Structure 1
């Protein structure tokens, strides 16, 4: 079973802490500065004024709730793209059901025929959303590169723009936990999706107006993320931590359920091609800060990820022993 936390005694901070907010409509140099600081300190930030239309977001949310509202037998037809409770192949469990598909036009078209009575409309909705968040992810990565002083500002985003990118789109649905206690006012909270970091480059996430997402700070304190359906949240992934030579941190996070309302999140995981070698740009490696990780391909890292339990630390397997 997935554990709720590695540090259960530090479940929440004494004082409320809010995650960094990036106004993407601001002056570019200032946006870059805020993003870099957020990635160094939190590995996570909220993006407002992101430029993705309300219509694109609404249609995707409608499609997601439409699918998860179907009878179980109809949803199981979409397997292996559809799953329930079983998060991974190593016994990880959670209070979640999900739909996972490659972030490509062909994959979206195929799954649309399987799960919808109106596949053309679903394909258009999911394709428009995927393209929009992919572009947002690339723009963010390019601003990051500028903020880090990397001459090749496409060094991160190029891996997602590549036609062979291994990026995926995942819809997670967390049904409310049925409260069978006599005291109907009491709330039940369970682990919906256990503690982990994302192995890819970058995650672009949004949810409906129901809370549940929590992130772990470097001091081990878990803080809840206030839901904002109009915004997107950005996670630094393991690959980006490697490509910044440890300057950015891959944030550990989890999702909790509740007993009053369902929560649905939609996550775009930007990933490189399988054959891509992951290594930090030369400007990120200095005599004072030598390379922390040995080169590896995304295929190698992905295989290692799936061989471990959900909350296991993976990056230590690829630490550079020559340091």
Structure 2
């Protein structure tokens, strides 16, 4: 049974925007936690600069952090997870109707505990409605409305994070070009309960191949991140308003390795189903990933030759299990 975000009996107290990254106790590494009080790209001032510094440090060191963003209400989060349960309860043949010409998009059938549905261009209401009609020919306005409302807010967080990243790297002049080079994929994910207390692999270790991923989880644990030193961190949200932001291989390559693209996985135990929703910022088909010349220096020599992301994804389909696929495909 779907376990939605639980009602909170106490009000979440926002951290001061200029607080330091939460790095955990001295004897145990934890994922950095960053509070985002902003809603748009026009924010500035000391708070913006402080949060920007935290974002940069987190993406350089971990390639990932927990983002506290209360602009997405708990009611909206709960409503979306209810919609996910109904989606994955649909007949397999119905779900198979959602296809995409982009590798790893569309519906991905159950594999071990994992099953997912990718919806391209989730910021395009017509395309979302077309997908909804495939799944529910009689119509289901609540699904498309809830999904789009959720993604509209989360995409603002994506844009804030990317703007902060480019500013921190001193390449903000490429911001407009960078934003226009991507589109949004919504991936709706179900992990079936393993029905055992022994850890089972829900999703194997991997890096994301896109630019940035922002993940929203229900209350069932399982997400783990590997640090640069090889230690695995359990990503347990500290707030009901939390998201997890990951930089992907495309951003790692574009920044010439200045930000980290972390390995992560999902490990499952128990008898409860896990649901998650990811907003994936993906380079548009045909777009070439090329590091700005300002980020290629003697200290930071070029790591990857320019490559077309969509062509790399097709290569990836033919090289399953290749842990260093990007390096093999485009490494200098």
Q: TM-score range by the shorter chain?
A: 0.7 to 0.9
The answer as to 2:161 corresponding to 1:140 is yes
Aligned partners of 1:215, 1:29: CA distance in 2, in Å? 27
What displacement does 1:58 show? 2.6
* Equivalent in the alignment of 1:171: 188
- What pairs up with 1:112-261 in 2 under 5 angstroms? 112-116=132-136, 118-152=139-173, 154=175, 157-159=178-180, 162=181, 165-179=182-196, 187-227=197-237, 228-261=239-272
Which residue, 52, 58, 71 being the options, matches 1:32?
Answer: 52
* Equivalent in the alignment of 2:120: 102
Task: Structure 1: state its 5+ residue gaps.
Answer: 1-13, 87-93, 180-186
* Equivalent in the alignment of 1:90: none
Change (3 A) 1:210 1:78: same
Aligned partners of 2:270, 2:177: CA distance in 1, in Å? 40
RMSD, aligned α-carbons: 2.4
Change (3 A) 1:35 1:50: farther
* Equivalent in the alignment of 1:18: 30
Give the SS at the match of 1:249.
coil
Contact residue 22 and residue 34 of structure 1 kept, 8 A: yes
Give the SS at the match of 2:302.
coil
The answer as to 2:110 corresponding to 1:85 is yes
Which residue, 304, 314, 320 being the options, matches 1:303?
Answer: 314
Change (3 A) 1:310 1:224: farther
What displacement does 1:157 show? 4.5
Contact residue 70 and residue 241 of structure 2 kept, 8 A: no
The 10-residue stretch of structure 1 (238-247 or 56-65) with the greater mean CA deviation from structure 2? 56-65
Aligned partners of 1:256, 1:109: CA distance in 2, in Å? 33
Change (3 A) 1:310 1:25: farther
What displacement does 1:202 show? 0.3
Aligned partners of 1:277, 1:37: CA distance in 2, in Å? 27
The 10-residue stretch of structure 1 (248-257 or 142-151) with the greater mean CA deviation from structure 2? 142-151
Aligned partners of 1:47, 1:85: CA distance in 2, in Å? 29
Contact residue 274 and residue 298 of structure 1 kept, 8 A: yes
Give the SS at the match of 2:270.
coil
Aligned partners of 2:240, 2:316: CA distance in 1, in Å? 30
**TM-score normalised according to structure 1 size:** 0.82
Give the SS at the match of 1:257.
strand
Give the SS at the match of 1:218.
coil
Which residue, 255, 272, 276 being the options, matches 2:287?
Answer: 276
Task: Structure 2: state its 5+ residue gaps.
Answer: 1-25, 39-46, 101-105
Aligned partners of 1:239, 1:273: CA distance in 2, in Å? 11
**TM-score normalised according to structure 2 size:** 0.80
Change (3 A) 1:83 1:295: closer
* Equivalent in the alignment of 1:10: none
Aligned partners of 1:262, 1:103: CA distance in 2, in Å? 27
Change (3 A) 1:52 1:311: farther
Aligned partners of 2:322, 2:158: CA distance in 1, in Å? 25
Aligned residues: 290
